Structures are given as C-alpha cells and as structure tokens.
Homo-oligomer: A and B are copies of this chain.
C-alpha cells in the first residue's frame, strides 16, 4: 500500500527514532501569513530594524510559527490515528530561527502506556526541530492517545517517562543572543512594563477577542503542513462526536499569544513550554479570549539583559476573561479551551 494509514498504538516501539517528512524552508511569506492569521504585534518579530537594534541579526520568526512547522511534520507519523492530544512538557526554544532557514523534525518514542481497555494507548514522544545543518532549534515532549489497530495486539515494552514539571531557568539562558535592553525602545514596542514590573500572582485580562473562521484555521494548518484530517474534512467529521471540523489546538495557542500582547507587549520571546492542555475543542464561529497569570519570575544565569516570566495563559471561547474563568470545584469553567504554562523572556 502506497498511502500512509498512520501508525496505530502497537506500531510504536519504545526508544525508536522517527525522521519525519517534509523539510520546509520558512520564509518572509510564512511570516506575513502568520501575521495575517493571528495578528501578533511584538516588535522584535515585526521589525528588522527593531530586532537588529536590540541585538538580533534580523527579525526572527515568531516562536510559535517554528513550533507549528516542527509539530506539523510529526502528525503523519505520530498522531494521524490519535484520539486526543493530551499534553506538552519540556519544550525548549533553543535559538532564534530566521527567514530562509530550513526546518525538519525527528521524534523519539520516550513512553508507551496501553489503556486498561486495550483499545488505545498513550504515546509519549520527544520531537526535535533541526535546521539544515542538523543543529536543534526546538525540542518538546507531547503525549497523545492513539487507537490500536488490533486490541489484542501485545505491546513489547511500556514505560511512562518522568518529565520535568517545568523547564529550569538555567536551561533558557542560551536561547537568545546577548541583547541590549537600553536599545529596546519600549514606546515603540507598545508598553513601558519590563521584567521588574511583573510579580508572581499578577493576573492580566487580555481584553480583546478574535472570532475564528473555517478558512482561517484551514489556511493556517495547511501552512504548517499539518495533515490531521479532522481539521479539513467537513464530510468525514460530520459523523464524529462533534459533527464538524475541529480547529488545530496550536491555532488557539497562537491566538492566545497574539491576544496576550495587550498586557505583555514586551514579553517578546517564548523560551520554554512547561505544560499545556487543550481543555476543550474550538470550532469555527467561536470567539477566543485569554487571560494570564504570572506564576514566577526568574533571573537567567549569566544574563543581565533579559529576565524570564513563567506565565499561565488560559484561553476561553465565547466568554470574555474579565472574571478570569478558571477551575470550578473539581472541574474547569466550561468556557476554558486552553491552559498553557510557559516561560517568556522580557527586557530588564
């Protein structure tokens, strides 16, 4: 058979390495589309002049564009038969990526855990994005619930990886060139608030909302060469439990990040992803809002230019976030769709 049926749970082997198709040169064209699809306004990624003044060699790609491109490649091999994307951990953005670079992805199977009913299992992978010279630019773990082809199939070896609760600040320090915070023009960047202005426990409602259309999420998801059928095939999804196309979870992450500019305008770079959960699905016509909480602030060893904020950003659908919708008893406010724990860098 020449077409890709995707792997089922019993097809994965603990410790195996999977090189993914298709390598992708990311360009100014991708940057323009990313801007048009999400509306980010962080000055470092928006302006070559601003970025070079600050210490980059030019405006780098939005970190999440890099993430989505690296992620997209893993879909045909890892999650084509996935029922759910369960979580993320140990995400590290290792260096800036610039237009013109070529990215490819490799995943290592770091965990396998069959479900008790033997119909499915959880696959844990560490996926790494590489540039054309083979240098790693991004690494992250994710785990997905994957169907078995044959419930009776035996699983050779199982293990649940021990993943860090958070990326250590020391591991974020090398992700950027040395920058010049005095050259960072806060007025031009859109906010006077720097590292020292944020404190743990602070909550920020990002105020604005963004309604999502089918054409938008499809255009984005194809841009990332993510082939998951549920995002594109209205006919096939008619018979699923949602009855319609499901929006790629990464689309929500990018919308929440772009909305977070309003309150976090100087948090110019994502350096790590500690944890993440797609709490509920998003559909066309829904409006996305977001709020963030500062979980921690951290110095970076050897760097006096930038500091790190550990943020928890919660995105909702069809509910503004002035009241910070969150956990409700043992559950979660039904409007919540994303709960992301990550590190951003911000000038001192």
What residues of chain A have their CB less than 8 Å away from a CB belonging to chain B? 2-4, 19, 21-25, 27-33, 35-39, 41-43, 46-50, 59, 76, 100, 102, 104, 132, 187-191, 193, 197, 204-211, 213-216, 218-220, 222-223, 225, 227, 229, 232-236, 245, 262-265, 285, 287, 318, 320
Inter-subunit contact B188/A21 (CB<8 Å) = yes
The interface centre, meaning the residue of A235, A245, A318 with most chain B CB atoms within 10 A of its CB, is: A235
Contacting A264 at CB < 8 Å: which of B2, B27, B218? B2
Can you name the residue of chain B whose Cβ is closest to the Cβ of A23? Answer: B47
Contacting A46 at CB < 8 Å: which of B19, B23, B218? B23
Q: A47-B22, A187-B19, A216-B219 are in contact. Are A3 and B211 (CB under 8 A)?
A: no
Residues of B within 8 Å of A46, CB to CB, are 22-25, 225
Q: Report how far A263 CA is from B32 CA in the complex, Å.
A: 31
Inter-subunit contact A36/B188 (CB<8 Å) = no
Residues of B within 8 Å of A229, CB to CB, are 208-209
Q: A33-B32, A188-B104, A204-B3 are in contact. Are A209 and B225 (CB under 8 A)?
A: no
Inter-subunit contact A233/B211 (CB<8 Å) = yes
Residues of B within 8 Å of A59, CB to CB, are 25
Inter-subunit contact B23/A33 (CB<8 Å) = no
Residues of B within 8 Å of A29, CB to CB, are 27-33
Inter-subunit contact A36/B223 (CB<8 Å) = yes
Contacting A207 at CB < 8 Å: which of B3, B24, B47, B188? B3
Can you name the residue of chain B whose Cβ is closest to the Cβ of A223? Answer: B36
Can you name the residue of chain B whose Cβ is closest to the Cβ of A262? Answer: B3
Inter-subunit contact A232/B211 (CB<8 Å) = yes
The interface centre, meaning the residue of A21, A50, A211, A223 with most chain B CB atoms within 10 A of its CB, is: A21
Can you name the residue of chain B whose Cβ is closest to the Cβ of A100? Answer: B48
Q: Report how far A104 CA is from B41 CA in the complex, Å.
A: 12
Can you name the residue of chain B whose Cβ is closest to the Cβ of A222? Answer: B39
Can you name the residue of chain B whose Cβ is closest to the Cβ of A317? Answer: B235
Q: A22-B46, A29-B27, A48-B102 are in contact. Are A209 and B190 (CB under 8 A)?
A: no
Inter-subunit contact A36/B35 (CB<8 Å) = no
Q: Report how far A210 CA is from B245 CA in the complex, Å.
A: 11
Q: A19-B187, A32-B32, A216-B218 are in contact. Are A102 and B233 (CB under 8 A)?
A: no
The interface centre, meaning the residue of A28, A190, A191 with most chain B CB atoms within 10 A of its CB, is: A28
Q: Report how far A147 CA is from B32 CA in the complex, Å.
A: 33
